[in-house]
Chain A
Amino acid sequence: MHYAPAPMHIPDGFLSVLISVLFWIVSLAFMAYALKRVNQDLGEKQVPLMGVLAAAIFAGQMLNFTVAGGTSGHLLGATLATVLLGPWAATLVMICVVSVQALIFQDGGLLALGANIFNMAIVGVMVSYFAYQTIQKLARGRTWGRYVGGFGAAWLAVVVASLATALELALSGTSPANLAIPAMAAVHTLIGIGEGLITVGALGFLMGARPDLLKRQEAGAPAGRIVWVVGLVIALGLAVLSPLASSHPDGLEWVAEQQGFIGLAQSPLYNVIPDYAFPGINDPALATIVAGLLGTVLVFAVALGIAFSRRRRTRAAAG
């Protein structure tokens, strides 16, 4: 109904196993650290507050506004969560949002969840924090710093997260870097503007209605030095890597092949086709088709058999 999947949740099947596992490890490390930090800062308050705010961000992603010609922009929320809660609590909230989206709504895969958490929770929050803090410092506490900072952070977080998504796909050999990176960046440059505008609107409302919520977070800011550096490294790293990767897609593929996983994925393909040779059929294409047909018949036989036996049993139970 109102629930619209965002174009950044990678489903299962699109990432290679190596990349999936790698990002699971990174994401779990961040999650463990975020849990520790939030436990220190919030103590026993964390479960109710994190739970309700994760639900709020999830529900808030339904808030949309019409752009033009039947399309609409909607909130993603990583920046807003960062500004309101600080980086570690926001990371935890976004991890919960992304996980529940995958687990319950199949918006993003389960094996790919590590990568999705990295893109939307970790990159989103760290980059937001880095950009927001930097712009606020530059503005020296003047009001415009908050709005420009909110817009800039939201825009940058969305764009950098999309670059991370495109790089993961390219490293998995699913999407060529020279097409995926510019395409993702172009789409998310626009989506980022929508996100920035909503974030500014929300900050304006919060400034008017509950300035204490914003100030409370800013009072405890010095704890975020590491986050600022991580955000800077992620933003800079992806900003440098992406154009490099997209102008040398073969380089990226070469790296992938060196690591062996594209080779691993592809090598059976070339050896296999002759092996498909079905007894008595010499044409490999024909043999493949026959094998496919047989397989399909097998599938339906199995499925129909189970369905019939179930139906007979339920009828027997009913009668």
Chain B
Amino acid sequence: MHAHFLDPYQPRPSLIHALDPRVKLMLALAFILAAALIPIGAWPAYVLLLALALSVVMLSELGAGFVLKRSALALPFVLAAIPILFTAKGAPLWSASLGPWAIAISDAGAQRFFSVLLKSWLSVQMAIVLAASTPFPQLLLAMRAVRIPRLIVAIFGLMWRYLFVLVDEVLRLLRARAARSGDPDAAAGMGWRKLTTRLTARRGGTLAWRAHVAGGMAGNLLVRSFDRGERIYAAMTARGYDGEVRAFPLPALPAGQRIILGGGLALLSLLVFLGYLV
């Protein structure tokens, strides 16, 4: 049982994959910053930003379906912005009365709601392309290049290395619990029957007891991780680790990559400028 399903990296022979990770990280951050800087309701600039994002997605050869599916992850947060549709002051676009209450969607509210939605969706697409086209060790190199403290990068690196081991550990814990306490979800099969079983099945014990069991698993996981951390430290010490995180110096950015970085930043600045112009 391996937890590789967690690793978002998708190897493809694409131009985006071939970019230097430093350029990719900086351009992705610049894109997200540009999306945030473009004012609410500057639709022409948004359309160009969308064109840019779609081109990058296509160039990355990850497949629009893959990116769309992953970008849906951020969707539930839209709930937080829905009230703005009704509360922003402006000319009403649509109104309805629910008994004693009257609700109205204002034009300003709609502008802001859809702007936030689009900005958020575009930003998440860029983050997905970055994560799916760059192996994590390369991303660590890029983080060092943008001056994230070396210790933090080292901790990220170790975290990534043991993430899959510990996720496997959690999956084993969950499987053991399912095997011992009769998981009605697992027994229910698929489809409609699964749904009705999930809704109506009697769960073992009280809610507090179930939470207690999950808590025990969490405690168990932490104890094992503490011990694992000690063993890793001992192993690292045995191999000469003295607290100093050493790394190879980063190679200089080739001229071609510099041009791509400069061109991308210029394009994004132009888009932000356009956003303020219209």
Contact = CB atoms under 8 A, between A and B. Distances in A.
Interface of A: 1-3, 5, 7, 9-17, 20, 31-32, 35, 39, 43-56, 58-60, 62-70, 73-75, 77, 80, 84, 92, 95-96, 99-100, 102-107, 109-111, 169, 173-176, 179-180, 184, 194, 197-206, 209-210, 213, 249, 264-269, 272, 275-276, 288, 291-292, 295-296, 298-299, 302-303, 306-307, 310
Nearest to A304: B58
Interface stretch (B94-102, B151-159, B247-255, B260-268): B151-159
Contacts, number: 344
B116 A62 contact: no
Nearest to B170: A59
Interface string B74-114: 10110011011001000000000000000000001001100
A74 to B, nearest CB: 8
Task: Give the 7 A-B CB pairs with smallest separation, nearest first.
Answer: A201-B215, A44-B243, A51-B158, A13-B120, A205-B219, A295-B47, A197-B211
Contacts of A303: 51, 54-55, 58
Contacts of B238: none
B44 A100 contact: no
A60 B228 contact: no
Contacts of A14: 77, 80-81, 116, 120
B147 to A, nearest CB: 11
Nearest to B232: A48
Contacts of A70: 195, 198-199
Contacts of B76: 5, 7
B155 A92 contact: yes
Contacts of A194: 211
B28 interface: yes
- Give the one of B61, B112, B152, B232 with max A CB within 10 A: B152
Given A179-B83, A298-B51, A52 B232 contact: yes
A16 B84 CA distance: 15
Contact of A198 (B29, B77, B214, B220): B214
Nearest to A314: B13
Interface residues of B, number: 111
Given A62-B170, A63-B218, A295-B44, A53 B226 contact: yes
B222 A12 contact: no
A292 B54 contact: no
B243 A200 contact: no
B203 interface: yes
For the residues of B in contact with A, the DSSP-based class is helix
A63 B217 contact: yes
B222 to A, nearest CB: 6
Nearest to B124: A106
A229 to B, nearest CB: 26
B258 interface: no
Contact of B166 (A59, A249, A276): A59
B134 to A, nearest CB: 10
Contacts of A9: 77
Given A14-B116, A65-B210, A70-B198, A272 B36 contact: no
Contact of A10 (B77, B213, B233, B242): B77
Contacts of B173: 63
B133 interface: no
Contact of A110 (B29, B39, B40, B81): B29
Contacts of B203: 66
Interface of B: 5-6, 8, 28-29, 32-33, 35-37, 39-44, 47-48, 50-51, 54-55, 58-59, 61, 70-71, 73-74, 76-77, 80-81, 83-84, 87, 108, 111-112, 116-124, 127-128, 131, 136, 139, 149, 151-152, 154-163, 165-167, 169-171, 173-174, 185, 195, 198-199, 203, 207-208, 210-226, 228-230, 232-233, 236, 241-245, 276, 278
B42 A203 contact: no
A56 B227 CA distance: 12
28 contacts: A2-B174, A12-B123, A13-B35, A14-B116, A20-B36, A44-B242, A47-B243, A49-B233, A58-B167, A63-B170, A96-B155, A104-B8, A104-B136, A106-B128, A106-B131, A107-B74, A173-B112, A197-B212, A201-B214, A202-B218, A209-B220, A210-B223, A267-B39, A268-B278, A295-B44, A295-B48, A298-B51, A299-B54
Contacts of A69: 198-199
Contact of B278 (A1, A3, A266, A272): A272
Contacts of A109: 32, 74, 120, 123-124, 127
A306 B244 CA distance: 47
Given A58-B163, A206-B222, A180 B212 contact: no
Given A13-B116, A63-B173, A53 B215 contact: no
Contact of A169 (B28, B42, B80, B221): B80
Given A63-B174, A110-B28, A174 B116 contact: yes
